[in-house]
Structure 1
Amino acid sequence: MRKIKLTHANKSILLKALAPYYYRERALGHSTQEVGKLILKIDSLSANKKATFSTEEICFMRTTINRLRNERLSKGQYTDATDDMLLKLI
Protein backbone atom coordinates (compact mmCIF):
# COMPACT_ATOMS: atom_id res chain seq x y z
CA MET A 1 0.00 0.00 0.00
CA ARG A 2 1.19 3.46 -0.86
CA LYS A 3 -0.21 6.95 -0.35
CA ILE A 4 -0.37 9.35 -3.28
CA LYS A 5 -1.51 12.97 -3.18
CA LEU A 6 -4.00 13.65 -5.95
CA THR A 7 -4.59 17.12 -7.36
CA HIS A 8 -7.60 18.04 -9.52
CA ALA A 9 -5.42 17.71 -12.63
CA ASN A 10 -4.07 14.31 -11.59
CA LYS A 11 -7.55 12.97 -10.86
CA SER A 12 -8.62 14.10 -14.31
CA ILE A 13 -5.59 12.47 -15.98
CA LEU A 14 -6.22 9.20 -14.14
CA LEU A 15 -9.88 9.11 -15.15
CA LYS A 16 -9.03 9.96 -18.78
CA ALA A 17 -6.47 7.16 -18.84
CA LEU A 18 -8.68 4.52 -17.20
CA ALA A 19 -11.94 5.19 -19.08
CA PRO A 20 -10.80 3.99 -22.55
CA TYR A 21 -9.39 0.81 -21.03
CA TYR A 22 -12.65 0.19 -19.16
CA TYR A 23 -14.81 0.63 -22.27
CA ARG A 24 -12.47 -1.42 -24.48
CA GLU A 25 -12.52 -4.34 -22.03
CA ARG A 26 -16.29 -4.05 -21.64
CA ALA A 27 -16.78 -4.14 -25.42
CA LEU A 28 -14.64 -7.26 -25.62
CA GLY A 29 -16.76 -8.94 -22.95
CA HIS A 30 -13.95 -9.03 -20.39
CA SER A 31 -14.39 -8.38 -16.68
CA THR A 32 -14.35 -4.68 -15.82
CA GLN A 33 -15.17 -4.98 -12.13
CA GLU A 34 -11.69 -4.11 -10.81
CA VAL A 35 -11.21 -1.20 -13.21
CA GLY A 36 -14.70 0.07 -12.41
CA LYS A 37 -13.94 -0.04 -8.67
CA LEU A 38 -10.71 1.88 -9.22
CA ILE A 39 -12.48 4.53 -11.31
CA LEU A 40 -15.15 4.96 -8.62
CA LYS A 41 -12.48 5.13 -5.91
CA ILE A 42 -10.54 7.86 -7.72
CA ASP A 43 -13.68 9.79 -8.61
CA SER A 44 -14.91 9.81 -5.01
CA LEU A 45 -11.61 11.07 -3.56
CA SER A 46 -11.20 14.67 -2.50
CA ALA A 47 -8.52 16.50 -4.45
CA ASN A 48 -5.33 17.60 -2.70
CA LYS A 49 -5.56 14.80 -0.15
CA LYS A 50 -3.51 11.64 0.08
CA ALA A 51 -5.14 8.38 -0.94
CA THR A 52 -3.92 4.86 -0.36
CA PHE A 53 -3.54 2.55 -3.34
CA SER A 54 -2.39 -1.06 -3.57
CA THR A 55 0.66 -2.07 -5.58
CA GLU A 56 -1.59 -3.62 -8.25
CA GLU A 57 -3.65 -0.41 -8.55
CA ILE A 58 -0.52 1.71 -8.90
CA CYS A 59 0.95 -0.62 -11.52
CA PHE A 60 -2.29 -0.58 -13.49
CA MET A 61 -2.59 3.23 -13.26
CA ARG A 62 1.02 3.61 -14.40
CA THR A 63 0.39 1.39 -17.42
CA THR A 64 -2.78 3.19 -18.53
CA ILE A 65 -1.29 6.66 -17.98
CA ASN A 66 1.79 5.71 -19.98
CA ARG A 67 -0.50 4.53 -22.78
CA LEU A 68 -2.34 7.90 -22.70
CA ARG A 69 0.99 9.76 -22.68
CA ASN A 70 2.25 7.83 -25.72
CA GLU A 71 -1.00 8.52 -27.60
CA ARG A 72 -0.65 12.24 -26.89
CA LEU A 73 3.00 12.26 -27.94
CA SER A 74 2.16 10.56 -31.23
CA LYS A 75 -0.35 13.35 -31.91
CA GLY A 76 2.15 16.08 -30.98
CA GLN A 77 0.19 17.11 -27.88
CA TYR A 78 1.65 18.34 -24.59
CA THR A 79 2.10 15.75 -21.88
CA ASP A 80 3.12 17.86 -18.86
CA ALA A 81 0.21 16.83 -16.61
CA THR A 82 0.54 13.21 -17.69
CA ASP A 83 4.28 13.25 -16.98
CA ASP A 84 3.60 14.77 -13.55
CA MET A 85 1.15 11.98 -12.71
CA LEU A 86 3.57 9.30 -13.88
CA LEU A 87 6.27 10.74 -11.60
CA LYS A 88 3.91 10.49 -8.63
CA LEU A 89 3.31 6.80 -9.38
CA ILE A 90 6.98 5.86 -9.77
Structure 2
Amino acid sequence: MMRKIKLTKANKIITLKALAPYYYRERALGHSTQESGRLILKINSLPADKKASFSAEEIFLMRSTINQLRNDQLAKGQYTDAADDMLLKLF
Protein backbone atom coordinates (compact mmCIF):
# COMPACT_ATOMS: atom_id res chain seq x y z
CA MET A 1 0.00 0.00 0.00
CA MET A 2 1.39 3.38 -1.01
CA ARG A 3 0.60 6.66 0.70
CA LYS A 4 1.25 10.17 -0.60
CA ILE A 5 2.99 12.61 1.75
CA LYS A 6 3.94 16.20 1.06
CA LEU A 7 7.44 16.97 2.33
CA THR A 8 8.38 20.57 2.99
CA LYS A 9 12.04 21.59 2.89
CA ALA A 10 12.18 21.58 6.71
CA ASN A 11 10.55 18.15 6.93
CA LYS A 12 12.96 16.73 4.36
CA ILE A 13 15.88 17.96 6.48
CA ILE A 14 14.41 16.51 9.69
CA THR A 15 13.74 13.16 8.02
CA LEU A 16 17.23 12.93 6.54
CA LYS A 17 18.74 13.98 9.89
CA ALA A 18 16.83 11.14 11.55
CA LEU A 19 17.63 8.50 8.93
CA ALA A 20 21.38 9.13 8.74
CA PRO A 21 22.30 7.81 12.23
CA TYR A 22 20.12 4.75 11.67
CA TYR A 23 21.83 4.05 8.34
CA TYR A 24 25.34 4.34 9.79
CA ARG A 25 24.48 2.32 12.90
CA GLU A 26 23.05 -0.51 10.80
CA ARG A 27 26.06 -0.37 8.49
CA ALA A 28 28.48 -0.55 11.44
CA LEU A 29 26.63 -3.58 12.79
CA GLY A 30 26.90 -5.32 9.43
CA HIS A 31 23.15 -5.23 8.79
CA SER A 32 21.56 -4.50 5.44
CA THR A 33 21.32 -0.78 4.69
CA GLN A 34 19.68 -1.15 1.29
CA GLU A 35 16.20 -0.05 2.43
CA SER A 36 17.35 2.93 4.47
CA GLY A 37 19.90 3.98 1.84
CA ARG A 38 17.29 3.85 -0.91
CA LEU A 39 14.88 5.90 1.23
CA ILE A 40 17.55 8.53 1.94
CA LEU A 41 18.27 8.87 -1.79
CA LYS A 42 14.56 9.04 -2.58
CA ILE A 43 13.86 11.79 -0.04
CA ASN A 44 16.99 13.73 -0.97
CA SER A 45 16.02 13.76 -4.67
CA LEU A 46 12.45 14.96 -4.06
CA PRO A 47 11.67 18.62 -4.74
CA ALA A 48 10.34 20.41 -1.65
CA ASP A 49 6.58 20.89 -1.30
CA LYS A 50 5.74 18.07 -3.71
CA LYS A 51 3.79 14.96 -2.80
CA ALA A 52 5.56 11.63 -3.07
CA SER A 53 4.36 8.08 -2.58
CA PHE A 54 5.85 6.03 0.22
CA SER A 55 5.29 2.38 1.10
CA ALA A 56 4.16 1.26 4.54
CA GLU A 57 7.70 0.02 5.27
CA GLU A 58 9.22 3.39 4.31
CA ILE A 59 6.71 5.25 6.49
CA PHE A 60 7.42 2.92 9.40
CA LEU A 61 11.16 3.50 9.02
CA MET A 62 10.70 7.28 8.82
CA ARG A 63 8.33 7.29 11.79
CA SER A 64 10.60 5.20 14.02
CA THR A 65 13.79 7.12 13.21
CA ILE A 66 12.10 10.53 13.60
CA ASN A 67 10.64 9.40 16.91
CA GLN A 68 14.14 8.34 18.03
CA LEU A 69 15.50 11.77 17.01
CA ARG A 70 12.66 13.43 18.93
CA ASN A 71 13.37 11.35 22.05
CA ASP A 72 17.09 12.16 21.81
CA GLN A 73 16.28 15.88 21.57
CA LEU A 74 13.91 15.68 24.55
CA ALA A 75 16.57 13.91 26.61
CA LYS A 76 18.93 16.82 25.89
CA GLY A 77 16.25 19.40 26.78
CA GLN A 78 15.93 20.63 23.19
CA TYR A 79 12.78 21.68 21.37
CA THR A 80 11.16 19.13 19.09
CA ASP A 81 8.63 21.19 17.12
CA ALA A 82 10.02 20.23 13.70
CA ALA A 83 10.25 16.54 14.57
CA ASP A 84 6.74 16.60 16.04
CA ASP A 85 5.43 18.28 12.88
CA MET A 86 6.98 15.61 10.67
CA LEU A 87 5.64 12.79 12.87
CA LEU A 88 2.11 14.22 12.55
CA LYS A 89 2.44 14.16 8.74
CA LEU A 90 3.29 10.47 8.89
CA PHE A 91 0.19 9.47 10.90
User: C-alpha deviations, 1:33-81, integer Å up to 9, x for none?
Assistant: 1110000000000000001000111011100000000000000001000
Counterparts of 1:29 and 1:87 in 2: how far apart (Å)? 32
Which residue of 1 is the match for residue 35 of structure 2?
34
Counterparts of 2:40 and 2:89 in 1: how far apart (Å)? 18
Instruction: Structure 2: give runs of 5+ residues left out of the alignment.
Output: none
Which residue of 1 is the match for residue 20 of structure 2?
19
Which residue of 2 is the match for residue 61 of structure 1?
62
Counterparts of 2:35 and 2:84 in 1: how far apart (Å)? 24
The size of the alignment, in residue pairs, is: 90
SS in 1 for 2:53: strand
- Structure 1 segments, 4+ long, off by >6 Å, are none
TM-score (norm 1): 0.98
What RMSD over aligned residues (CA atoms) do the two structures have, in Å? Answer: 0.4
Which residue of 2 is the match for residue 50 of structure 1?
51
Identity %: 79
Counterparts of 1:34 and 1:56 in 2: how far apart (Å)? 9
Which residue of 1 is the match for residue 82 of structure 2?
81
